[in-house]
């Protein structure tokens, strides 16, 4: 397209949709440059991985058939018969894991830079909800190949829901589509994985991005205190976007390397009448919860240990999500230090429990 026809096209669009103010906004948008700028890129990487998930997910949908007698077989067909099927399935699995990993880094970098505070409370909340949705994607997608590990992980995961007081049992039956994990569960998880979660995720990502664009990038306290002439910034477009694109390219290469050299295994087909195999584990991002539940005694103060564990994680997640609001309500002194210690304790707990889970 020549410059002239590009200008004509722009004018044609602008006449109808008045996009000039938006373009001007993007032109003026600046990104702070400081020693922690690298964390600004994590959200973009997560978004890139989500786009890959949507793309490879659509490709897998073309051959995948939910059902006790067809799910495992169709995934095996994808990985053994369809051209590059093994690659797309492997990319889908690796990308899902990398996305959750990057989201965790994004969340903790936001936490430690204290970017969640006013006026970005809702950016934090929408980001946290997106992470839980990503974990929901992982949990629901894990079952779809209907293999042994996935079957037991789903049994355990949905049974945990049953431990919630009052509504737990009904929620478990709704989630499973019956009393047990069966073909009905598979169909429900399929619907959740390919329709419900993508819709919710798109809404929350859109809100998250809208808030970020509206409020601009967070500036760390040290940066804010600098005199204006010492504040280094770079234009969002094209400088930051091009750096983003370069990082996306690197991530794509890492993803392809992992997918090609460490293709995702399918395992054995699920059999509801076989014992849980030795060494059964959930996905790594659920490991800290899995390990904690493993350590709890059967009863704590007349209540079942499992119930205490589930309530603990549910309350912890709500507190974590509402941190920006609670921090002010509680009127904590020395917030910077206290929150840093709190964050270190949370990261330490997750890391220790995860490593412990893999070492036994």
Partner 1 sequence: MGANRRRFLNLVLGGGLLGWLGSVFYPVLSYLIPPKNPEAKVNSIKAGLVDDFPADFGKILKFGRKPVILIKSSSGELKAFAATCTHLDCIVQYRKDTKQIWCACHNGIYDLKGRNIAGPPPKPLEEYSVNIVNSEIVVSKQVVS
Residues that bind partner 1 (CB under 8 A): 152, 155-156, 158-160, 170, 173-174, 177-178, 180, 184, 272-280, 290, 293-294, 296-299, 304-306
Query: Cβ(187)–Cβ(71) under 8 Å?
Result: no
Please state the separation of Cα 26 from the chain's center in Å: 27
Q: Which is nearer to partner 1, 238 or 272 (CB)?
A: 272
Per the rule left: phi > 0, alpha: psi between -120 and 50, beta: everything else, 42 is alpha
DSSP codes of every residue in 145-180 = T-BHHHHHHHHHHHHHHHTSTTTHHHHHHHHHTSSS
Give the nearer residue to partner 1 in terms of CB position, either 20 or 170.
170
Chain centroid to Cα 341, Å, comes to 24
* Residue 101 CB-density burial (10 A; 0-12 exposed, 13-18 middle, 19+ buried): middle
Beta-carbon contacts of 300 under 8 Å, excluding residues fewer than 6 positions away, are: 308
Residues in the chain: 360
Token pair for 145? 């190949």
Q: Least distance in Å: CB of 50 to partner 1?
A: 27
What are the backbone dihedrals phi and psi of residue 217, each rounded to the nearest 5 degrees, phi first? -70, 150
Measured from the CB atom, the residue of 114 and 188 that comes closer to partner 1 is: 188
Burial environment of residue 160 by CB neighbours within 10 A (0 to 12, 13 to 18, 19 or more): buried
To the nearest whole angstrom, how small is the minimum distance from the Cβ of residue 143 to partner 1?
Answer: 14
Identity of the residue, 8 or 299, whose beta carbon is nearer to partner 1 in the bound complex: 299
Q: Measuring CA to CA, which residue among 116, 140, 118, 135 is closest to residue 126? A: 116
Torsion of Cα atoms, 236 then 237 then 240 then 243, to 10°: 170
């Amino acid at each position: 397209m020549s410059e002239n026809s590009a200008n004509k096209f722009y004018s044609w669009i602008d006449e109808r949709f008045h996009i000039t103010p938006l373009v001007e906004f993007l032109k003026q948008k600046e990104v702070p440059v400081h020693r922690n700028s690298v964390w600004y890129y994590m959200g973009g990487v997560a978004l890139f991985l989500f786009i890959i998930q949507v793309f490879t997910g659509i490709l897998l949908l073309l051959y995948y058939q939910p059902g006790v007698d067809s799910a495992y077989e169709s995934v095996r067909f994808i990985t053994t018969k369809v051209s590059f099927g093994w690659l797309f399935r492997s990319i889908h699995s690796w990308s899902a894991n990398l996305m959750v990993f990057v989201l965790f880094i994004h969340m903790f970098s936001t936490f430690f830079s204290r970017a969640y505070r006013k006026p970005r409370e809702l950016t934090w909340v929408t980001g946290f909800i997106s992470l839980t949705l990503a974990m929901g994607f992982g949990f629901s997608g894990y079952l779809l190949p209907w293999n042994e590990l996935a079957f037991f992980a789903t049994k355990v995961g949905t049974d945990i829901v049953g431990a919630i007081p009052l509504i737990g049992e009904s929620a478990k039956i709704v989630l499973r589509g019956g009393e047990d994990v069966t073909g009905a569960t598979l169909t429900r998880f399929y619907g959740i994985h390919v329709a419900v979660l993508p819709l919710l995720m798109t809404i929350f990502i859109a809100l998250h991005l809208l808030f970020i664009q509206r409020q601009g990038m967070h500036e760390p306290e040290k940066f804010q205190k600098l005199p204006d002439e010492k504040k280094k910034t770079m234009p969002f477009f094209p400088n930051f976007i091009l750096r983003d694109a370069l990082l996306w390219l690197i991530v794509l290469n890492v993803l392809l390397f992992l997918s090609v050299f460490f293709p995702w295994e399918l395992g054995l087909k699920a059999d509801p009448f076989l014992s849980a195999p030795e060494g059964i584990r959930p996905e790594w991002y659920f490991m800290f919860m899995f390990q904690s539940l493993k350590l709890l005694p059967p009863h704590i103060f007349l209540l079942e240990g499992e119930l205490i564990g589930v309530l603990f994680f549910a309350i912890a997640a709500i507190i974590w999500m509402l941190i920006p609001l609670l921090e002010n309500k509680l009127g904590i002194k020395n917030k910077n230090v206290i929150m840093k210690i709190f964050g270190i304790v949370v990261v330490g707990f997750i890391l220790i429990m995860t490593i412990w889970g893999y070492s036994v």
